[in-house]
Structure 1
Amino acid sequence: MAMRLETSGIVRVWAGWTVGRAVLLILVLGALKVPHVDVTSDVKVIYQGWAEVLRTGTYPMDDVTWQYPPLAGLVMLLPLWLPGSYFTAFLTLLVLCDAAALHLLVRAERRHRPGGRPTAAWLWVVAVPLVGPTVYCRFDLVVTAVAIAATLALVARPRLAGVLAGLGAILKVWPVLVLIGAAPRDRAARRSWLACAATCAAVCFAVAVTTHGAFSFLGFQGSRGVEIESLGALPFYFASLAGLHWGRAQMHYGSLEFLGRDVRVIGYAMIGLTVLAFGFLLLWRLRHRVWTAATTADAALTAVLLFTVTSRVISPQYLIWLLGAAAVALTVPDTRIRPVAWMLAVAAPLTFLEFPLWFGELVKRSVLGTSLISARDLLLVAAALVACVRLWRAGPEDAAVVATARTATAQQPPVPTARPTATVR
C-alpha cells in the first residue's frame, strides 16, 4: 500500500508538471499572448545571432551584451545541431533540462523520505511556471539543472559534485556557490573543491586553445549601472514618487539600467553588500561544527540567495536559480529554512507581474511599477535574512544534540560480546 501511495504521488507530480509546462509552452509559442513584451526575441534574435558567430570558432568579442563564461557558448550552439528551427530546438533543450531537474528532485525525495509527500518536486512543478514565459526563453534552466545535480551529489559523491559545480561555473558562475555547504577541514570537501578547480581549468584551457575571445566577457562588466529590477534600484523608484528624478533608465549592456552620477554610489554599496554576504558565509563556515545533508542544502540556498539579492542585476530568470536551490533544500526532511522556500514561491508570480506584464510601469516609475518591484525585492531580502538567521542558529543547536547523544552513548555500560563498529563521519 505504501509503495502504491508513493507511486501515485509521483504520477501526480509528473502529471502536474506536464500540464504546467504545456501552459508555459502555449504562452511562449504565442498561442496565448502575453501583453507588452515579446520575451522570445532573446532566443530568436540574440541567442541565434551569437550561435552563428560561435560556429565560426570565435566568441562575440565586440558585443558587450555577451557576458557569459565560455561554456555558455555550447548551450547557444546546441540548437543549431538539433533538427528543426533554432527556436524549436532551444525549447526542446530547455524542456529536457526541466524534466531532468524534476527527476533528480523526485529521486532525492524518495531516498530521503520514502513514502512521504514529494514537497520539493511540487515546489518545482508549481512555482517555476509562475515566473512566466521567461523560464523557457533564457538558458538558466540548463544551469539550474546542473547546480541541482551538483548539490544533491555533494554529500555522497563529492568529486562528481565538484565536476558539476565546475561545469556550472563555466556556464554562469553562480553554481560554484553550492560548494559553500561542503564541510571545511574534511577530505571529501577538499575533493569537491579540487575537482571543481580542475574542471574549470580543463574547460578554460580547451576553449582557449580551440577558439578566439573566450574570455572577452570579463571586460564587459566593469561599467555596469544598476539594473531597474534589482534591490539597488528601489531608492530611485522611491525618489521618483517623492518628485526627485535620480538617475536615468536606458538600455545598457543588454538590459535597462539606471545610469548617472548618483547611481555609482548605489552600485558601490551593492558591491559592499556582496562582500559582507561572503564575509557572513565565511564566518559561518569557521564557526559551524555539525555538517549534515541539511547543512549542505541550506548553505547552498543561502549563498545563492545572498549573491542574488546583493547583485546589481536581478533578472527575472534569476528566480529559477533560487527555486532550484530551494527545492533541493526541501528534499531533506530536517532542513531549517523551509519558510524561505515558500517565500521564494510567492516571489515567483510577483516576478511575472513586474516582467513582462507591467514592465512598462517600471520604466515609467509609476506607483504600480514601484509597488510590484518593491514587493518582490523586499520579499527576497526578507527571505535572505530568514535564511541567514536560521542557518546561523542551526550550528549550536545541532552541536548540542550531537554532544548529548555522545554523552548518552559514553554512559552506557560496555557490552563484552559486541564487536567494535566503525565510526560514521
Structure 2
Amino acid sequence: MSPGRGRAEIAALWVVFLLAHLWVALLGWWLPSQPMGDVVLVYEPWSSSALGGGAIVGITEPWVYPQLALVPMLLANLLSWPLVGAMGVSGAYLVAWAVLVTVLDAIGFAVLVGLGRTGARRGRSGPRRTAGWFWCAALLLLGPIAMYRIDAVTVPIALIGGLWLSRRPVLAAALLTIGAWIKIWPGALALAAVIAVKRRVRVLAAAVIVAAAVVAVLFLLGADRELFAFLTQQTGRGLQIEAVAATPFLWMALGGAAAIEYSHEILTFQIRADAAETVSALLTPVMVLVVLGLAVAGAIKAARGASWHRLFPPLGLALVTALIVTNKVGSPQFQVWLLVPVMLWIVLDRTRSVAPSLLTLGLMALTFLVYPLTYDALLRAEYAPILVLSLRNLLLVVLLIISSRALLRVPAAPRTDPAHRAG
C-alpha cells in the first residue's frame, strides 16, 4: 500500500474509532438494565468517600478490586467537578468517565496505529491497521459495557505494554503490572511475557519492582490487612449467573430446580442450587491448575526455542481466556479482556489470528444481546436469553480450546532464528 493510502486509512480508522466511542457512550444512556450502573452506583460513591475524608476502599476497608482501580475512579471524579452544576453529580461523573476512557483508549490507539503523518511509519503495517479495525468492531458489538466498567481502563494500558514487549521490555512489564493492580487479568499477559520473551529476566525484574513499589506505597498509606483483600474477597463468592460453569444451572432454573438470587454483599446475581456452592468452590483450584498447565506448556515451547512472535499470542490469549472460562464470576465486561491478546495476535502473527478474531467478535455480539438487551428476561430465567448466554459460554470454551491448540502447535526454532532473537 502506498504511503498516501496508508495515511488515509489511518485517518479513517481514527474517525471510526472516535465515532464508535461516542456512539457506545450514548448507548449507555438509552439502553435498559443500567449498563452504566456500576459507574454511578459504586465508582462515584467510592471516589467521593475517598476525596471527602471518608472510608478509602482497599486502604481502610476491604475491597473486591486491587487498589490502583481507585485511581481512575478518582480521576473521573475530579474531571466531573466543572460539570456538576449543569448535569448533577451522577450525570457529570458519567460524562467524565466516558471522556477518561476515550482519552486512554486514544493513547493506546495512537501507539497501535500511529498519529497522522508523524505516526505513519509506526502505523503503516497492515497487521496494526487490521488490529485497529478489529478494536472498532469489537467496541461497537459489545456496546456500553465496553466503556462503563473499570475493565475498560486496563485495555489501553495492557495493549501498550504488549506492543512494547519487544523493544521496551522494562516499560512493558511495568505497564502490565500496573494493569494487574487495577484488574488482575493483565497479569496473565505478564506471565506469558516472562515465559515467551527472550529478555524475560528484565520483564520479571521490572514486574517485581513495580509490584513491590505499589505494595510499599499502599502499606505507607495505611493498608495492612486490606492489602490483598481483593484476593480473599473473591473466595467466598457464589456462582454468578453469567459464569460458564453456571450454564447448566440456568437450564435447571427453567424447570425450577435452581433459582437466581441477588447478593447484596457482592452486588450481583448468583445461582442458588444444591450443587452450586460445590461448583463455585472447585472453580478456583481448577483455574490454578489450568493456568499452571498452560504456563508449563508455554515454558516447554520457550525452552525448545520457539519464536516469541509465535508463542506469545496463543499463550497470552489462552491464559486470559482460561481466567474467564474457569471463573465463578461471569460479568459481561470480562469480554474486554480478550481484546488485547487478540489484537497482539493480529499484530504479531496475523495469518493465524483469523479464527480467534472472528470468535471474539461473535462473543462480543452475543454478550451484548444478553447484557443489556435481554438481561431482565435472563433474571426471570426465560428461554431465549439462556440460549444466547449458553452459546456465548460455549464460544468461550471453543476459544480456549483453539488458543490452547495453537499453543501446543507452536513449532520449536533454533536459537539462531532471527524471529527468536527479536524477542
State the TM bucket, normalised to the shorter chain.
Answer: 0.7 to 0.9
Residue 164 in structure 1 maps to residue 160 in structure 2: no
Residue 41 in structure 1 maps to residue 54 in structure 2: no
Offset of 1:294 from its aligned partner? 3.7
d(CA) in 2 for partners of 1:95 and 1:295?
31
TM-score, scaled relative to structure 1: 0.86
User: Helix, strand or coil for the counterpart of 1:59?
Assistant: coil
1:264-283 Cα distance to aligned partner (Å, 9 max, x none): 22113422431332132122
Change (3 A) 1:338 1:284: farther
**Equivalent runs, 1:46-85 vs 2, <5 Å:** 46-55=42-51, 56=53, 58-60=55-57, 66-82=63-79, 83-84=82-83, 85=92
Report what 1:413 is aligned to: none
Residue 378 in structure 1 maps to residue 378 in structure 2: no
Candidates 95, 101, 115, aligned match of 1:94: 101
User: Helix, strand or coil for the counterpart of 1:20?
Assistant: helix
1:66-93 Cα distance to aligned partner (Å, 9 max, x none): 4101111111111222243322221211
Number of residue pairs matched by the alignment? 400
Report what 1:23 is aligned to: 23
Equivalent residue letter for 2:78: W
User: Helix, strand or coil for the counterpart of 1:71?
Assistant: helix
Change (3 A) 1:244 1:64: farther
Report what 2:88 is aligned to: none
**Equivalent runs, 1:226-305 vs 2, <5 Å:** 226-241=239-254, 243-252=255-264, 253-288=266-301, 289=304, 290-305=306-321
Report what 1:418 is aligned to: none
1:271-321 Cα distance to aligned partner (Å, 9 max, x none): 243133213212212320212234223321221111111111121111111
Contact 1:59–1:211 (CA under 8 A) maintained in structure 2? no
User: Helix, strand or coil for the counterpart of 2:66?
Assistant: coil
d(CA) in 2 for partners of 1:123 and 1:116?
10
Change (3 A) 1:156 1:297: farther
Q: CA RMSD in A?
A: 2.8
TM-score, scaled relative to structure 2: 0.86
Offset of 1:204 from its aligned partner? 1.5
1:359-403 Cα distance to aligned partner (Å, 9 max, x none): 12221222112101101110111011001001111134xx3xx59
Report what 1:395 is aligned to: 411
Contact 1:58–1:211 (CA under 8 A) maintained in structure 2? no
1:176-197 Cα distance to aligned partner (Å, 9 max, x none): 1112333649761011111111
User: Helix, strand or coil for the counterpart of 1:347?
Assistant: helix
User: Helix, strand or coil for the counterpart of 1:138?
Assistant: coil
d(CA) in 2 for partners of 1:182 and 1:61?
28
Larger Rg: 1
Change (3 A) 1:23 1:185: closer
Report what 2:185 is aligned to: 174
Equivalent residue letter for 1:138: R
1:7-61 Cα distance to aligned partner (Å, 9 max, x none): 1111111121122222112212x3xx213x1222321221111012222274236
Offset of 1:116 from its aligned partner? 6.3
Q: Which runs of no fewer than 5 residues in structure 1 stay unpaired?
A: 410-422
Offset of 1:111 from its aligned partner? 4.7
Equivalent residue letter for 2:316: A
Report what 2:5 is aligned to: 5
d(CA) in 1 for partners of 2:158 and 2:148?
19
